[in-house]
Amino acid sequence: MNETGAAHGPETRVIGLTGGIASGKTHVSAEFARRGAHVIDADRVGHRVLEPGGEAYDDVIRAFGKEILDAEGRIDRRKLGSVVFGDPQKRQQLNAISHPHMAQRMRQEISQLRGRKTPPALIVLDAAILLEAGWDALCDEVWTVSVAAETATRRLISRNGLTEEQARARIAAQWSNSERESHAQRVIRNEGSLDELTAQVERIWCEVTGRFAS
């Protein structure tokens, strides 16, 4: 049992899906959604709590000033990012404000999904910082998508136009594969093509739900 509520059957299992940059996590999440999983995207939840009227909106403005607002009074995530991402203390302050509100929203959504007359076969909480934020407490299992650092470096150079030094710095700033895998019940390895990754998702979907993709 996890912290979201009472014991439940496998049809409402909550999977925390994580993975490093260029790991293929987004593709895996989309493929689970295509097969019928309900995906909760932590990034979208984060956007919602920062919107005007959102739970974190006022506290973030109090903490970082009105300079982070755009002309319409919305929090400009690019301006906010330039303030916090070069300063670990400020980033930690932002996380301390927003993460509890995000967790509460995700907890409520999971509860609502489980309360449906016909709940989804699988609930996937898609979050790059699932483990760092402690959101794995909302999940029944943690699955991580892993890719070798060298492969991720090549993908970042090709996909994002980064230099090798920039790509390696981004990868080094995250948890390592081994750290994520030590907390995961399932590791999805992505060293091949997208077709091979999709085939892995199909096998896992059938194994976990007993269903074939529609």
Query: What is the CATH classification number for the domain harbouring 19?
Result: 3.40.50.300
124/203 same-domain check = yes
52/89 same-domain check = yes
**Segment 53-107, tens digit of pLDDT:** 999 999 999 999 999 999 999 999 999 998 997 788 999 999 999 999 999 999 9
Asked, for residue 130, whether it belongs to a domain, the answer is yes
φ, ψ of residue 186 in degrees (nearest 5): -145, 135
- The whole domain housing 76 covers 44-105
179/159 same-domain check = yes
pLDDT score of 8: 42
**What's the number of domains the chain is made of?**
2
96/161 same-domain check = no
**Segment 117-165, tens digit of pLDDT:** 999 999 999 999 999 999 999 999 999 999 999 999 999 999 889 899 9
Asked, for residue 66, whether it belongs to a domain, the answer is yes
26/127 same-domain check = yes
Cβ neighbours of residue 176 under 8 Å, at least 6 residues apart?
none
Of 9-18, 42-51, 80-89, 199-208, the range with the lowest mean pLDDT is: 9-18
Q: Of 71, 105, 139, which marks where a domain is finished? A: 105
